[in-house]
Every structure is written in structure tokens, then in C-alpha cells.
Chain A
Amino acid sequence: MSKKNWASHRQAKDEKMQRVAPLLEGKFAKTSDVVKILERLLNSGDKVVLEGDNQKQASFLSKALASVDPEKVHDLHMIMSSISRPEHLDIFEDGIASKMDFSFAGPQSTRVSQMIADGSLKIGDIHTYLELYARLFIDLIPNVVLVAADKADKDGNLYTGYNTEETPVIVESAAFKDGIVIVQTNEVVDKLPRVDIPGDWVDVVIPADEPYQLEPLFTRDPQHITETQILMGMLAIRGIYEKHKVQSVNHGVGYNTAAIELLLPTYGEQLGLKGKIVPNWEINPTPTLIPAIESGWVQSVHSFGGEVGMEKYIAARPDVFFVGKDGTMRSNRAFGQMAGQYALDMFVGSTLQIDKYGNSSTVTEGRLSGFGGAPNMGSNPTGRRHSTPAWQSLKPDDNPLGKGQKLVVQMVETYGANKRPVFVDKLDAVEVRKEAKLANVPIMIYSEDTTHIVTEEGIAYLYKTSSMAERQAAIAAIAGVTPLGMTSDTATLNDLRNRGIVALPEDLGVRRTDAKRSLLAAQNMSDLIEWSKGLYNPPAKFRSWS
């Protein structure tokens, strides 16, 4: 009986590394050899993680991957948290890759939808971030990972700086399971500011011809915040933040939540809430949080990624942000998502559609966008056992073994920007599931996890409803003049108000006429710069005044 080889993966890796040995000096390859390196290190059918994060893109490596010869490398199984760049899909048109597991595809959602329909893209699963990262260690263990660093030293140690994001979790999944770690770096230096990834985990480093792509995705210009959004922000602060004494929170990206951030130092102050609500945040360093930080509302901020222009401000506020000894921020999306799902009192986000049952989705007809952080942060991990006031405040009175719940809040205007109703009878996602032959309907946040919905009409406290019929009535009551809202009547509304299931602005002591733009702590980008004492440096496209 022949002896079993228990190290076949290690041998396979060694054989691949032999193929590129002539092109390497230590761990370093020449910029111009990148396509050759990929052609020699990728076997057809390999599982490959290409670092496409929410913000940082390994764009030099993704362009190179799109240039390999499909005769030599084909049918790769790609694993990407974010499908962001055109070439992430071009590789499927050219046959270089054939299958994709992913989480978010917002920037490429129309093409993803088309390519699934015409068969050029096969989907494994659309994962929540944490499911995707977790499966890198279980049944999606990669053969090769392609990641991006700011700087590398001669030994291949890496500095990933503000936008560390997914790099650690991706590298770890390959480095200890005989996968190959290929890194593009913006520059090579003698001494790194700090080591984010040890060189011992890295196989090949290639200096990029230009820095990795980085987008300021979390910058919202206060100029575009409307008075309706301010009204909704006031409702949320009174009817949710104050009512439940919320201590820790994540805000989705949008003008609704930006309005809340800018109302804390003004409206929140007037209500005497400073020091009583939201000292702890899991959020990207969004510039609209600057006034709240500067006025002493915020004790800590941990982040999934960085934000372009916020570097100096963050470095100058190490008491608030997670910062290395070198003074630059360290982010980590895997830990951020873990915190979002398990540590926070509350998630507040927005969506494109909510059905009559309270399920919500940003997947609409012709756009298979997948989801960012919302499904993890907007779900209620049932095993949690928090003692915070917010968690406890959702505990049922009548059950001695009853548990609390994470607050999951959806803030939507009843009609979306496209003039279509947000409240719908049936989510588009139901049809999209059929067309794309998905195992699950792509729902972003399930009804059972949604505790509150805020519209310009008022707040529905869904966690207080005791049946699906009552839940539907509460949603209809705040759905305005959408077809769903028209099914509600005054008698039902008043009954729901009396029982505290629905609150209108007057029930919360909020005057609609007070919802003015002058209530925002910053009304435009220059106000934000001023609040930051000149430390915030917005990207050119947000400098409309210059």
C-alpha cells in the first residue's frame, strides 16, 4: 500500500513558485512582469480572491488579471467582497473566470444582472460580509489571493494604512493553507511606518504602475440634506435614540443618517442628550460626524475602512479613532462587521424598497446590487445577551426567559428619488431571484429583524406588534400616499398611536416647522472643514466652491 501524501497542497504551491522563480528577486517581481506572474501562478479552475473592498481596489492586479491569456488561464472561481470595477466582470466575458461568490456589486449591478441572465456569470452565493469571510476558512479556501498595500519593505512586510479593510482576513485565509499571496504595492520603502501584514505571510510583491483605486464613498455634502430628512432625523433622535437610551450605533451611508449626525450638536444638545446617547460608534470616518466629535458627543469610533481626506483629522484625534503608533488609522472590515453584528445597540440604514410585511431590499429590477454591511448589522443575532438599556428595552414584559433585541431601524421617504413608492406590495427582488436562479430571495434586511421604520409621516415601532396583521397595519400607517399607505385609515392609525405602536411628530413633541436647514451643525463642506480646524481636506469633487 502506497503511503498517502499529506502535503500535496504544499507541493503544488512549491511547484507553482518554481515556475516564477526566474522572475523573482527575493519576493519582488518587476511591474512589467505582472501578467506573466499571474499566468504562471494561476491554474485554471483555481479559487481566487481578488481584493475588491468597499473602498480599496487592487486595481493594478485586476487590470493584469483581465490581460492574461484565456487559453492559459480560464474558469477561475472568483471570491470578492465587492464587484466594483469593469474588469471584475470583463474577465467573465473573456472566459478567464466563470464563477463568482460575492457580497456587494452596487457599482456594477446592471452588468451583473445582464451577465447572469445571458449565462456568462455563474453565481455561487450572494453572501453577507461575515459569511463570505468565514467561508474563506471553510469551503471557499483560496488557492491564490491578490491584495493591495500602500507600502512594502524589502522583506515583504506590508503597510496597509487607513484602508486596511479586508486585507488581513484575505491574506490569513491563504497564507496558512498553502495558498499564494500576491501583493501590489504603491511603493517600496526601507522602513515601514508600521507592519500591518508580516512579510512571512506574503509570497510575491509587485510594485504597481499607479496607486490602488480608492473612492471617497462615505462623504456626504451637507448642502444636499433636505428639510424632510431633517424632520426624519429629529423624529429618530426623539423617538428612538432618546427613548431607548442608545449607546452604540452604526449609521448606513446616506443623507438621512448624515442629517442625524449633524443634528446631535444642535437639536440633541437642546434636548439635553449630550453624554446620554451614542458615545460609541462603528462607522467609517464620515466627515459629517466631525461636528459631533468636536462638540464632545463621541468617545470612540472603530472603522471598516478609511475615508479620503480624513487622514490628518483622524491622526490628530487618537482618543477617538483606532490609530497605530505611527499616527495613521488602522481599519478592519472583518472586525468592524463583527462589532456591527454583535456589539452594537443599533443599526440605522436606508433602502430602495420595503414590502408590506417589512422586508427590505436594494435589489431592484435589472440591478443585482448585492449588499454591503446592512445584512450583518441589520440582523439580530439571537444568541446575544446584552445588558445595555437599549437591548433590554425591547424585551417582552410577559416572558421571564424573554430576550432583548438589537435595534434595526430603516429610514425612508415614502417616495424614492425616482418618484416610485418605496413601500411596495412585492419586492422586485422576488422576480430577480427567479431570473438569476438564486437560492434565496435577495432581501437586505428581513422583517423579523426590523424593529423600527421611520418615514416623514412618523415612526412604526414594529417590535411592539404582536401579529403580522398588526405589523402590516403599522407599516401602512406611516406609508403616506403610496398605494400601501392609502390602505390605512384614521381609526386604525389612532388605535396604533394610542397603543404606542405608531408615533406621529406631534406624539413625540417634534414640530414640523422646526425642521430647518439652519438646524444642521454644518450646512456645507466648508463648515465641515471649519469644524475640523482645517484638518479635513475634502477631495476635489467635493470642493464646489473652489
Chain B
Amino acid sequence: MIERRNMMESLWIFPGQGGQHEGMLNRIDSDLKNHVEELLNLKLKDSAQAYQDSVQLQVGIALLQVDQVRKLAKYNLKPNLVAGHSLGVFAAAYAAGVIKLDDLFRLVKYRATLMQNSYPHGYGMGVIVGLERKYIESLVAKVSSTDMPVYVSNQNATLQTAISGNLSAIREVLSLAKNKGASKAIILKVPVPSHSPLMKNVSQKLQEMLETIELNRPQRVIYLANTTGKPLRQIIRIKQDLSDNVSNPVYFDTMMSVATNYQPQVILNFSPGKPFKKVIGEKFDQISQIYLDQMSIEDAAYLLGKWERKSN
């Protein structure tokens, strides 16, 4: 009789901005850090002050995630599914073998610079918990105007929706939402109207840069798209997701629903923070999880090995 063999299918999740903190780059491989600093001609300060700056912040998070991917690779650990949220798509594409290291960092720095310069002040994002997306769309339609535009943006969980645009308009939508029974309606600490059509210019420029970069088709790994939630294997579509996610809603809720269709047995949550606890709890019934924010790569590799043996 052949033994039943279940390889542990793994989903790797890469968050975007939000969970950054001073000192998060402490354990980064110093050769890698030096290489990136030299490549981008940028000194990474890794301080709370520095993380007010989009370039410091986005390059810092990408570096942290890429470092974790490279260390896991030393234990021969690779993903079956990757899901990046916003900025997280770049490390996700790297983990899937789609984009090369230097290209990734050049792209991220360019993205951050473009975003920073596009809306110096008066714009941002908010989040509403407890109301249906369709209903929030109707509130936004009442408030949004040409002078003070606001859009429904990211769907992070079933009843957790972001809005992006002009800050006054956002505040107005948030107060309507509270009146209509939202359990939470607050401004996010994001200084730009990400994931809305207001970022179309940034997408356009990223598309142009991506045309000059060579990407590889992912081998035996599925890339979950921000803009549609769909599972992608074709380079042309992944490329589009890398450039367009900044000007489109991230359907993380759908991405996780699609992920369940691949029946992963373990989820690896990359740093920083753990923003997706709610949606993962909604979609996955008692799945084994690792938070790289809370344990070393060595411990993570040990745990994965143990679970793998147990599942056999």
C-alpha cells in the first residue's frame, strides 16, 4: 500500500503599510541591506521619524519582507499561494519568482516617490466597519463631488471597507456611516488617497517602468490579484496588478475567499504587524498560522517541519 502523502500547501501573506515600527530592520541581513542602500542611493534610517517618509517606509517594508523570503528559501520553504496587500504585492511577486530583487527595489522606490509627490496634503483614507459595501457606496455617492472626491476603496473583510479621497469628504462619509450603525468609522494614518482613481497617474508611470523589466512566469505558485481577487499564473496579468493596485480597490476579502479554494493547510504572515486576523478567521476554519512578526525564521521553519510530519 502506498502511504498517503499530503504536502502542506502554504499561503504566504504580505501586508502593506500600517504595522511599521522603529527598529523593524534590526535583524535584516546586513549584506542585503547594504546592497539595497547602494542600489537605491538611500540611507535606511529605520526610525519612527523616518517612517513618516513614504520612500523610507515602502522600501523598509519591502526590504523586511524580501529578507524573510530569502531566509525561508534557505530552509527550502516556498509558497503555493502568495497574497500581497497593496505594497505587499512586490514581495509576493518576489516570493513567487516573478520579479528580480534589484528590479523590485527600484520599482518600490519609484512607486513611493510618485505617491508622495502626488498629494502633498488634504487627502487620505478612512475605514468603516459593520456596514455592507453596497450601502457604503450609496453614502459615498451622496458626498463625493468634483472638488471633494471620495471613493469606496479596499475591501479588507466582509464588513470592513476603506474609503479614499479628500479628507473633508471622508470625514463626512464617516459621520454618515456612524449614524447608520457602523461599529467603527475612523481616519487611517495614510497620507494619500491610495487605491482610488486619484492615483491613476502613479499606475500609468509604474506601467511604463514595468515595460522595461523582465518578469518570469510563476512556477507552481499562484499569485492572488489585488484588483480582482483572482488567481493569476500569467505574467501579463501579474504585471498589470503590480502597476494598477495603487489606483484600484484591493479586494483582500475576495483574495482570501479564492485562497480557500486552494485549501492551504498553513498560513505564513509576513511582517510587519498582523492586520488580517479578522478576515483570516472569517475564511479559514482553524488553520495553522505563523506570524513572522512574533518568531524567528528558525522557529518558523521548525514549526512547519513539525506540522508537516504530523499531517502525514
Contact = CB atoms under 8 A, between A and B. Distances in A.
Interface of A: 86, 93, 107-111, 114, 118, 186-187, 208, 210-211, 366-367, 418-420, 540-541
Interface string B255-280: 00110111100000000000000000
A107 B263 contact: yes
A109 B254 CA distance: 11
Nearest to A540: B310
Given A93-B233, A107-B263, A210-B2, 15 more contacts: A86-B222, A107-B260, A107-B261, A109-B261, A110-B229, A111-B230, A111-B231, A186-B2, A210-B4, A210-B5, A211-B3, A211-B4, A366-B254, A540-B311, A541-B311
A186 B1 contact: yes
Query: Which bucket holds chain B's interface residue count?
Result: 20 to 34
A93 B231 CA distance: 10
Contacts of A186: 1-2
A110 B2 contact: no
A111 B254 CA distance: 10
Nearest to B159: A419
A187 B4 CA distance: 12
Nearest to A210: B5
Interface string B1-18: 111110000000000000
B144 interface: no
Interface string B222-238: 10000011110100000
Contacts of B5: 210-211
A42 B261 CA distance: 27
A210 B2 CA distance: 7
B257 A110 contact: yes
A247 to B, nearest CB: 34
A541 B311 CA distance: 7
A109 B282 CA distance: 16
Contacts of B233: 93
Contacts of B262: 86
A367 B253 CA distance: 13
B240 interface: no
B114 to A, nearest CB: 30
A93 B234 CA distance: 10
Contacts of B310: 540
A118 B237 CA distance: 14
A110 B260 contact: yes
Nearest to B265: A541
B2 A211 contact: yes
A434 to B, nearest CB: 15
B158 interface: yes
B282 A418 contact: yes
Contacts of B261: 86, 107-111
A210 B5 CA distance: 7
Contacts of B228: 114
A418 B158 contact: yes
Given A86-B261, A86-B262, A367-B257, A114 B282 contact: no
A217 B262 CA distance: 16
Most buried by B among A86, A108, A118, A208: A86
Contacts of A211: 2-5
A210 B260 CA distance: 23
B283 to A, nearest CB: 10
Interface of B: 1-5, 158-159, 222, 228-231, 233, 254, 257-258, 260-263, 282, 310-311
21 contacts: A86-B222, A86-B261, A86-B262, A93-B233, A107-B260, A109-B261, A110-B229, A110-B254, A110-B257, A110-B258, A110-B260, A111-B231, A111-B261, A114-B230, A114-B258, A118-B230, A186-B2, A210-B5, A211-B5, A418-B158, A541-B311
Contacts of B263: 107
A114 B2 contact: no
A187 B3 CA distance: 11
Given A86-B262, A114-B228, A114-B230, A366 B257 contact: yes
A110 B251 CA distance: 13
Contacts of B2: 186-187, 208, 210-211
Among all A-B residue pairs, the 4 with the closest Cβ atoms: A110-B257, A108-B261, A111-B261, A110-B258
Nearest to A150: B1
Contacts of A210: 2, 4-5
A94 to B, nearest CB: 9
A86 B262 CA distance: 6
B159 to A, nearest CB: 7
A290 to B, nearest CB: 22
A367 B282 CA distance: 15
A537 to B, nearest CB: 13
Contacts of B3: 211
A113 B7 CA distance: 27
B260 to A, nearest CB: 7
Contacts of A108: 261
Most buried by B among A110, A187, A210: A110
A111 B258 contact: yes
Contacts of B258: 110-111, 114
A496 B257 CA distance: 41
Contacts of A367: 257
Contacts of A420: 158
A326 to B, nearest CB: 15
A108 B263 CA distance: 9
A107 B257 CA distance: 10
Contacts of A114: 228-230, 258
A420 B1 CA distance: 47
B4 to A, nearest CB: 5
A540 B288 CA distance: 13
Nearest to A90: B233
A167 B272 CA distance: 49
A311 B229 CA distance: 40
A108 B257 CA distance: 9
Contacts of A86: 222, 231, 261-262
Nearest to A89: B261
Nearest to B9: A86
Most buried by B among A108, A109, A114: A114
Nearest to A107: B261
A208 B260 CA distance: 26
Contacts of B230: 111, 114, 118
Nearest to B231: A111
B80 to A, nearest CB: 10
A315 B199 CA distance: 65
A418 B5 CA distance: 34
Nearest to B157: A418
B254 to A, nearest CB: 7
Nearest to A308: B4
B250 to A, nearest CB: 16
Nearest to B312: A540
